[in-house]
Structure 1
Amino acid sequence: MRIAIIGAGALGSFIGAKLSKEHEVMLVCRRAHADAIRERGLRISGKTELVVNPSVGCSAKELEDFGKIDLGIITVKAYDTYSAAKEYRKSMMDAKILSMQNGLGNLEAIERAVGRNAIGGITSHGLTFAEAGHVVHTGLGMTVVGDREIARLLTSSGIDTRYSENIEGEIWAKAVVNACINPLTALLKVKNGVLLELPGIKRMMKRIFLECYEVGKRVVRLPESRGRLENRVYETVRLTCENRSSMLQDIENGRRTEIGQITGEFVRRGKELGIEMPVNETILELVHGIEKITIHR
């Protein structure tokens, strides 16, 4: 199978590395990452130890030259979903398209860009972009997709994956988990595990959770009860205790975060539904403030 990973940062590189052992894979990524992979190969270290040599490219033309693809996996930041899907849609016209992204609204953005349905997916593996050509697998997690064939494909490549007929609910449930963890790690500038070590922060996580859960259950069929989903938040922190969340990494590197597509979407939907979201509104403004400070520093 010929597979393209659109936006191969930490997660996309990890997925692409695993798939490249049995399939033809092109990582569409930044130039420095592509150059490092061409020179030294793509290294995954940590929970996974692997060095592979997938094809790499940095443009729509290079992906077109790679040939007809069977599966396009989009892993760009959520705020870039529409533009990336539109830029690379020619290569994906006859392919299945899988979104493996944080945040809400990605499937809708892809569908607007390419004019047909995309498949949803989530994962909670902890991954850190160490340097160009090198990704660290910091924590094991679960992966869920809305397509049986793709679930089998990922599992056979070494990423244990289950199929869900309620992938929309799964995406919203993961967004709830992300909203409880990522913004707090970015604000406190700590690894995930620290959140459970501070009683006041754990209480804050619960307040964030209760607001987001109330919105989620009104919009979709969440796959878990309130108690079980809340426990999943804490279990995710424990499983990825050494991970620096993607939002924290963005802040540390002076980049835009996905706060608007995670917390911002919960706040927006909450307002539409008449649900008060005071804690999440405060978190949203604080992270946006830090973004402005770090990006323009």
Structure 2
Amino acid sequence: MNIVVLGPGAIGSLWAYSLHQAGHTVALYSKQEHDKLPLQLDGNTPITLANNQPVSLQNADVLLVTVKAPQVIPALEVLRSDLHPDCIVVLMHNGMGTAEIVASRLPNNPLVLATTTHGALRQSRHQVLHTGQGSTQLGGYNSKGNQCDFLQQVFAHALPDVYWNENILDALWLKLAINCAINPLTAIHQVKNGQLADEAFKPTLHQLLDEVHQVMTCEGLTLSRNELNTHVYNVIQATAENRSSMHQDICHHRLSEIDFITGYLIQKAHDHQLDVPSNEALYQQIKRIEKSWTS
């Protein structure tokens, strides 16, 4: 297949390299102005991929979007005129809230949502490390996207394990809940994920998850409060040495994905006339930190 990866950061580069090695024609779209970019995964042989070439986009069967949530809509606006209406758009990023907008802006394109637990780290500008073996879930968002279950085999052949999930929104909500618990706290306190298992964070996490579970229940998810707690603490333990993406963004004075994580939760809570004061407090703290860089 002809596949364009929009946003070759850590995860985007991991998938671009893996899909290329699986035999697909892969091109990139990035902020870099060069028409070709070298890319290396771990210590493997480097490859060179086309970059920012309209013809690649015009011929694309799949557009894999791996930019951060706040960049999704602006990035797609720039590319929309060159995107064929049959091209499958796959959104793979933290947070929620972009799919509704993308579906309205690209009403004719099949839209697929993805979530992955693979770990990746940018070692240098052109080298990415695969730091943790994980799995990926794909699922359709609109009616045309629902017909794209063959992508499971395409992606699985490149980077297993991959599953097609008919209820992908449930999986995304669970990831959102985990991110609401972990990301703002690690960013504000500048701690690794594993430190959230300390007794000092237990009351705050309990309050956050109580609120998140109420919203999830109103959204139709059947996950129990105890199951949610287990999922969150399992991730804290499994990623104990990791620094969350929000932690890294705040550390490097980059705008975070807070609007598409906790902000999205708050929006849904308001839709259901629920109060989520603990989550709102963390949201405001992150926004104040971001604002302080420009004041």
Aligned to 2:290: 291
- Map of 1:62-141 to 2, 5 A cutoff? 62-65=53-56, 68-89=59-80, 90-116=82-108, 117-141=110-134
What SS does the aligned partner of 2:150 have? helix
Is residue 192–residue 245 contact of structure 1 (8 Å, CA) maintained in 2?
Answer: yes
CA drift of 1:285 comes to 0.6
In 1, Cα distance between equivalents of 2:26 and 2:167: 28
Larger displacement relative to structure 2 (63-72 or 272-281)? 63-72
Aligned to 2:145: none
CA drift of 1:67 comes to 5.0
In 2, Cα distance between equivalents of 1:179 and 1:106: 17
Stretches of structure 1 that go unaligned for 5 or more consecutive residues are none
For residues 290 and 20 of structure 1, do their structure 2 counterparts lie closer, same or farther at Cα, with a shift above 3 Å needed? same
- Map of 1:248-287 to 2, 5 A cutoff? 248-287=247-286
CA offsets per residue over residues 42-101 of structure 1, 9 Å max, x none? 2333xxx5444141424xxx1335650111111111122222222222224221111111
In 1, Cα distance between equivalents of 2:186 and 2:119: 14
Q: TM-score scaled by structure 1?
A: 0.88
CA offsets per residue over residues 212-257 of structure 1, 9 Å max, x none? 12112212435x4332232111112222222221111211221110
Aligned to 2:175: 174
In 1, Cα distance between equivalents of 2:250 and 2:129: 18
In 2, Cα distance between equivalents of 1:79 and 1:153: 27
In 2, Cα distance between equivalents of 1:139 and 1:257: 23
CA offsets per residue over residues 159-201 of structure 1, 9 Å max, x none? 31111100111111111111111111111112222222x2121
Is residue 4–residue 57 contact of structure 2 (8 Å, CA) maintained in 1?
Answer: no
Counterpart amino acid of 1:239? A
For residues 161 and 170 of structure 1, do their structure 2 counterparts lie closer, same or farther at Cα, with a shift above 3 Å needed? same
The 4+ residue runs of structure 1 with deviation greater than 3 A are 49-52
CA drift of 1:19 comes to 0.8
Counterpart amino acid of 2:216? G
In 2, Cα distance between equivalents of 1:252 and 1:111: 33
In 2, Cα distance between equivalents of 1:264 and 1:11: 23
What SS does the aligned partner of 2:259 have? coil
Counterpart amino acid of 1:93? P
In 1, Cα distance between equivalents of 2:58 and 2:272: 46
Q: TM-score scaled by structure 2?
A: 0.88
Counterpart amino acid of 1:28? Y
Counterpart amino acid of 1:105? G
Aligned to 1:43: 40
In 2, Cα distance between equivalents of 1:52 and 1:211: 46
What SS does the aligned partner of 1:122 have? strand
In 2, Cα distance between equivalents of 1:250 and 1:214: 28
What SS does the aligned partner of 1:132 have? coil
What SS does the aligned partner of 1:221 have? coil
In 2, Cα distance between equivalents of 1:139 and 1:91: 33
Counterpart amino acid of 1:19? L
For residues 234 and 260 of structure 1, do their structure 2 counterparts lie closer, same or farther at Cα, with a shift above 3 Å needed? same
Aligned to 2:16: 16
CA offsets per residue over residues 91-126 of structure 1, 9 Å max, x none? 242211111111111211211221235111111223
Q: Percent identity?
A: 30
Aligned to 2:196: 195
In 2, Cα distance between equivalents of 1:227 and 1:140: 26
In 2, Cα distance between equivalents of 1:260 and 1:125: 23
